Amino acid sequence: MKFFIDTANLDQITEAHNLGVLDGVTTNPSLMAKEGITGDLNIINHYKAICSVTDGDVSAEVISTTFEEIIREGQELAELHEQIVVKVPMIKEGIKAIKYFSGKGIKTNCTLVFSAGQALLAAKAGATYVSPFVGRLDDISTDGLALIRDIRLIYDNYDFQTKILAASIRHPMHIIDAAKIGADVITGPLSSITALLKHPLTDNGLVQFLADYNNAALKDK
Ligand code: E4P
């Protein structure tokens, strides 16, 4: 299972990379705006900076919505760096573009996926990744993880090679449940990944081990 971090914040990407468990990065226009990255040149330079921190795939989202524009923008993004994956929205023009990119060997991430039917279309078009948004479905009282389960079943039935990238991950239980279901990748904030470290029995146990070591050393003197 791969761990992607869902941010455009270079410090957080570096922290996750230094932890040794980072397999890639996903961004979107909202995440870029949150970091104050505006203007085409700054955005391009920021993608390059992200690629210099991680060795894995970096999803860069197009802001175009017509086939011709998605192709033009996506090709420019793909040419920036070999790690760039062109992130394309789940719309009719997007599906056509994913099919086109797939024929050209350009990696794609089909984003804003909220149903099994959409995920089936993305796989048929040859998307490298499909991004079902778990957290946003949960937000509207719909079981986001049930969608991951359905997509896993459908892709396995037909041996689709599209990777299930469980997106909009909000907390560590999303990651654990996505792993149980067999999602290929999760993408979430750094906090959802580092929360996996935590268990009170680990903390208490370590305090006790260190105290016992120090007490024994004192007795030795
Ligand atoms: C997917 O790649 C998106 O960037 C992301 O996971 C959306 O997450 P959010 O619902 O927390 O904004």
Q: What is the distance in A from the centroid of ligand 1 to the CA of 65?
A: 19
How much of the chain exceeds pLDDT 70, in percent?
A: 100
SS3 label, residue 1: coil
pLDDT at 210 over 90: yes
For residues 137-154, average pLDDT:
98
Q: For residue 220, what pLDDT is reported? A: 82
Q: Phi/psi of residue 162, each to 5°?
A: -55, 130
Beta bridge partners of 98: none
Tally of structural domains, the chain? 1
pLDDT at 221 over 90: no
Closest atom of ligand 1 to CA, residue 109: 2
Q: Which domain CATH number covers 138?
A: 3.20.20.70
Whole-number Cα distances in Å, 121 to 116, 142, 160: 9, 21, 11
Cα separation of 64 and 207, whole Å? 54
Going through 20-128 in order, the beta strands assigned E by DSSP cover 24-26, 57-61, 84-89, 108-113
Q: What range does the domain containing 70 cover?
A: 2-218
Cα separation of 37 and 9, whole Å? 10
Q: For residue 206, what pLDDT is reported? A: 98
pLDDT at 161 over 90: yes
Beta bridge partners of 113: 132
For residues 78-97, average pLDDT:
98
Q: What is the distance in A from the centroid of ligand 1 to the CA of 207?
A: 37
For residues 60-68, average pLDDT:
98
pLDDT digits (tens, 9 = 90+) for 199-208: 999 999 999 9
For residues 85-94, average pLDDT:
98
pLDDT digits (tens, 9 = 90+) for 170-200: 999 999 999 999 999 999 999 999 999 999 9
87 given a catalytic annotation:
yes
